[in-house]
Amino acid sequence: MKTKIISLLFFSFCFLFGEVFAVEGDLCGNADYAVAFVNGVWNTTENATENLDQLKKLVGNRHNDRNVQYELFYNQTGKGNDGRSSLEDLAEVFLQRAQEMDGILANRWEIFWHILGSSPDGNTFFEKLANTLKISIPRFNDFIALFYSDFMKKTTEVMSGLLSNPPTYNDYFAHESRLKSLILERKKIVLVAHSQGNLFANHAYDSAISLTSSQSLKVIHVAPASPTLRGEYELADLDVIINSLRVMGFAGVVDSNVKIPLAHLKSKDLTGHKFVETYLDPALDTSKKFNQMLNDALDSLVDPPTHGNVGFITVTLTWDGPGDVDLHVYEPNDVHVFYAHREGMVGYLDYDNMSALGPEHYYATCDSSKIISGNYRIGINNYARATGRTATLQIATAEEGELFSTQLDVGQPNWRGEGASPVPVANLKIYKDLRGKFKVALL
């Protein structure tokens, strides 16, 4: 009887606190594929996360008997963000398209406002859009009126703020850093970009492709707002948002290649543009085309060249030009990991860049028996030739993806690398929770 009771208690403990045993061994999951979603205009973090969740449902946790991890490459939205209007998103698209086509960001605002204002025929942009689409939906006219009102009530101060401190660049740096880290960790990657997200995906792809192969990194463009493409695309014929770019006279708007019924706009999505409601709607051809593109992309991926390693935590350093910037990590007990001492008690500096742009990459072991709880201090040092550069430092975990990302000046050069005092950037703590599972927290 006593033996049965002890056995029952033991199995009950395992059931309730199974994570205690689950953490033994590998902490990283060893995913071979990474599917990342790059959101479009007017997506809050919650909206973008919901879209990523839909991708998870389509693909699942495994593909071709290999593990799949999911990443959100979020770009800030004007809607619901610090009181900004949805105009900020479209203004940002305007700037990004200008840069992607000819590298010119400034001196374009007179064109932007001209497009939004009255044209020689006396019609506003929104009136021209309604005439072009020739859609007779009572609610559509209300939608256009509200949209127009939102545009025209914007102030010069908001636009000036966007020009002087555009969120575009912070997002660019964060996406670039995370993509390079995934490449260094030998992932086969698919970027699924929607709407404005295509402009961000193109930038991330172009900045990182030199580290891998086009056979190991694929882009799927959905309703692309970008004038150029890096992979297969789909665009619905009644997509109001992308058609608006065409009406505005933008060059490089791709042709629609899938049709949706007018009834769909009347009943589900007035814009014909939403990722889930239109492009993933199982009743539409858009969904069939997307599923085919996604499966083809995943099936065609090959193992990338080996550069680095996956870790329970990873720290990735990049910077925006020539020069040698060094990553420094102080593990618990002040074990100093950097270019001259690349192996610590917990982690390793497996990628050291001495010429330009980065990356530098530190990873902590996935072996739970070797992880050390405690504080980890992270800093950077301008070793040489990088004065005036902006660095991006990003911390990610195997379980949660990006945990922290920041940009900062690299500081003055200090070639005495070993004796240098790196610019402090972040502190984090590795600890065990009540169930014995290793966790990471920023301090």
Residue 188 contacts residue 212 (beta carbons within 8 Å): no
220: confidence class by pLDDT, cuts 50, 70, 90: very high
CATH number among 2.60.60.30, 2.40.30.10, 3.30.465.10, 1.10.10.60, domain 313-442:
2.60.60.30
Does 224 sit behind a cis peptide bond, omega within 30 degrees of 0 on the bond before it? no
pTM, full prediction: 0.80
Say which residue the tokens 């409601």 belong to.
Answer: 277
Residue 12 in this model has a pLDDT that exceeds 50: no
198 vs 21, higher pLDDT: 198
Q: Which two tokens stand for residue 413?
A: 């050069």
Candidates 3, 14, 28, 21; CA nearest to 399 is 28
The model's pLDDT over 161-185, given as tens digits with 9 standing for 90+, comes to: 444 455 577 888 899 999 999 999 9
Using only the alpha carbons of the chain, give its radius of gyration. 24
CATH of domain 32-306: 3.40.50
Instruction: Please state, in angstroms and rounded to a whole number, the distance separating the CA atoms of residues 118 and 133.
Output: 18
The DSSP H or E segment spanning 377 is: strand 374-384
Higher pLDDT, 121 or 60: 60
pLDDT at 242: 85
Give percent helix, percent strand, percent coil of the chain, each to the nearest 5. Answer: 35, 25, 40
pLDDT digits (tens, 9 = 90+) for 385-426: 999 999 999 999 988 889 999 999 999 998 875 556 899 999
The more confidently predicted of residues 61 and 166 is: 61
List all residues 6 or more positions away from 145 whose beta carbon is below 8 Å from its beta carbon: 126
Task: Please report which confidence band the pLDDT of residue 75 belongs to, taking 50, 70 and 90 as the band edges.
Answer: confident
Rounded CA-CA distance 366/363 in Å is 9
Tokens of 168: 């575009």
CA neighbor of 94 nearest in space, from 154, 149, 180: 154
Length of the chain: 443
Contact 52, 70 (CB under 8 A): yes
User: Where does the pLDDT of residue 108 fall: very low under 50, low under 70, confident under 90, or very high at 90 and above?
Assistant: very low
Torsion, Cα 202 208 209 210, to 10 degrees, reads 140
What is the dihedral sign for C-alpha 228, 233, 236, 239? negative
Residue 88: pLDDT over 70: no
Residue 60 has pLDDT above 50, yes or no: yes
pLDDT at residue 306 is higher than 90? no
pLDDT of 264 reads 94
What are the structural domain ranges in the chain? 32-306, 313-442
Long-range contacts: 203-210, Cβ < 8 Å, 24+?
203/172, 203/175, 203/176, 204/38, 204/73, 204/172, 204/175, 204/176, 204/179, 205/179, 205/230, 206/230, 207/172, 207/176, 207/179, 207/180, 208/176, 208/179, 208/180, 208/183
What mean pLDDT do residues 64-83 have? 78
pLDDT score of 318 more than 70: yes
